[in-house]
A and B are shown apart, each in its own frame.
Chain A
Amino acid sequence: MKVTVNKTELTIFQGATVADALRAYYTQQKQKAPSPLPEVEDIYGNSVAHDGALTEGNQLIIKEK
Chain B
Amino acid sequence: MNKFLSILILFLVFTGCGMNKRKSQKTDTEREVVILAVNDIHANIDNFPRFAFMVDSLRAIYPDMLLVSAGDYQTGNPVNDQYHEKGRPMIELMNSVGFNLSAVGNHEFDVGVKTFETHTKSAYFDHICANLILPEGMEFNIKPYKIITLPNGLKVGFISVLALGSNNLPECHPDNLVGFSFTNPFETAQKYLYLKDSTDLLIYINHFGFENDVKLANTFPKEAVDLIIGGHSHTKVEKEQIHNDIMITQAGRRLDYATLIRFTVYPDGQLNRSMQLLTIGQSGNEKADVRTMVDKYNSNPEMMEVIAKAPFDFRTTDELGYWMADALKATAKTEIAVVNKGGVRIDYLPAGEITRKTIFTIDPFGNQIVTVTLTGYELKAFISNMFGQNEYSLMYPSGIHLNYVVGKEDNKLIDLELLNEDGTPLNMDKTYSVATSSYVITTADFQRKDSGKTLSVTTSEGWIKWLLEEKTVKNYQEVKRVFINE
Report the separation of the CA atoms of residues A53 and B235 in the bound assembly, to the nearest whole angstrom.
Answer: 10
Any B CB within 8 A of the CB of A6: no
Cβ distance A18 to chain B, nearest Cβ, rounded Å: 8
B357-379 contacts to A (CB < 8 Å)? 368, 370, 372
Q: Are B454 and A49 in contact (CB under 8 A)?
A: no
Q: How far is the CA of A8 from the CA of B351 in the complex (A)?
A: 49
> Contact string, B228-247, partner A, CB cutoff 8 A, digits 1/0?
00001111111101000000
User: Can you show 26 pairs from A to B with CB atoms below 8 A apart?
Assistant: A1-B166, A11-B451, A13-B438, A13-B441, A14-B166, A14-B451, A14-B452, A14-B454, A17-B438, A18-B234, A23-B443, A24-B442, A44-B211, A44-B214, A47-B235, A47-B236, A47-B238, A48-B233, A48-B235, A48-B236, A49-B235, A52-B233, A53-B234, A55-B163, A55-B212, A57-B211
Contact partner, B237, options A1, A24, A46, Cβ 8 Å: A46
Is residue A42 within 8 Å, beta carbon to beta carbon, of the partner chain?
Answer: yes
Distance to closest chain B CB from A41 (angstroms): 9
Q: In the assembly, what is the distance between CA of A53 and CA of B164, in Å? A: 11
Q: Are B171 and A15 in contact (CB under 8 A)?
A: yes
Known A14-B166, A17-B438; contact A44-B241, beta-carbon cutoff 8 A = yes
Partner of A49, one of B171, B208, B253, B442: B253
Known contacts A14-B166, A24-B442, A59-B211; decide if A48 and B368 are in contact (CB<8 Å).
no
The answer, among A21, A28, A44, A49, for a CB contact under 8 Å with B234, is A49
A64 at the interface (CB under 8 A from B): no
Please pick, from A24, A28, A49, the residue contacting B236 in the complex, using a CB distance under 8 A: A49
* A41 CA / B410 CA spacing, docked (Å): 41
Q: How would residues 32 to 54 of chain A score, 1 for a CB under 8 Å from any chain B CB and 0 otherwise? A: 01000000001111111101111
Residues of B within 8 A of A20 (CB): 438, 442
User: Once bound together, how far apart are the Cα atoms of A32 and B378, in whole Å?
Assistant: 22
Task: Check A1 against B234 for contact (C-beta < 8 Å).
Answer: no
A1 to B209, CA, bound (A): 15
B199 at the interface (CB under 8 A from A): no
Residue B182 lies at the interface, judged by CB distance under 8 Å to chain A:
no
Q: Mark B381-409, 1 if CB is under 8 A from A, else 0.
A: 00000000000000000000000000000
In the assembled complex, the CB of A17 is this many whole angstroms from the nearest CB of chain B, namely 7
Q: How many residues of B contact A (CB 8 A)?
A: 40
Bound: A27/B382 CA distance, A: 13
A46 to chain B, nearest CB (A): 5
**B332, chain A: closest CB distance, angstroms:** 13
Closest chain B residue, CB of each to CB of A20: B442
Determine which of A13, A42, A44 lies in contact with B452 in the assembled complex, contact meaning CB atoms within 8 Å: A13
- Contact status B211-A58, CB under 8 Å: yes
Chain B neighbourhood of A9, CB < 8 A: none
With contacts A15-B165, A58-B209 taken as known, whether A53 is within 8 angstroms of B171 at the C-beta atoms is yes
Contact yes or no, B453 A14, CB < 8 A: yes
Number of interface residues of A (CB under 8 A): 34
The smallest beta-carbon distance between A23 and chain B, in angstroms, is: 4
Decide yes or no whether B210 CB sits under 8 A from chain A: yes
Determine whether the beta carbon of B443 is less than 8 Å from that of A13.
no
Q: How far is the CB of A2 from chain B (nearest CB, A)?
A: 9
Q: Are B235 and A13 in contact (CB under 8 A)?
A: no
Which of B368, B438, B444 gathers the greatest number of chain A CB atoms within 10 Å? B438
Most chain B CB neighbours (cut-off 10 Å) among A11, A17, A45, A48 = A48
B108, chain A: closest CB distance, angstroms:
14
Chain B positions within 8 Å of A17 at CB level: 438
Using A42-B210, A52-B232 as known contacts, list a sample of 4 further A-B pairs with CB atoms less than 8 Å apart, ordered by residue number in A: A15-B454, A46-B250, A53-B163, A53-B233
Most buried by A among B42, B214, B234, B238: B234
Q: Nearest-CB distance from A38 to chain B (Å)?
A: 15
Q: Contact at B166–A56, with CB atoms within 8 Å?
A: yes
Contacts of B476 in A (CB 8 A): none
A13, closest chain B residue (CB): B452
- Residue B456 at the A interface, CB < 8 A? yes
A55/B232 in contact, CB under 8 A: yes
Q: For residue B252, which residues in chain A have a CB less than 8 angstroms away from its CB? A: 47, 49
Contact with A along B433-455 (1 / 0, CB 8 A): 00000110111110000011110
* Residue of B whose beta carbon sits closest to that of A11: B451
Q: Which residues of A contact B439 (CB under 8 A)?
A: 23
A51 to B165, alpha carbons, bound, how many Å? 17
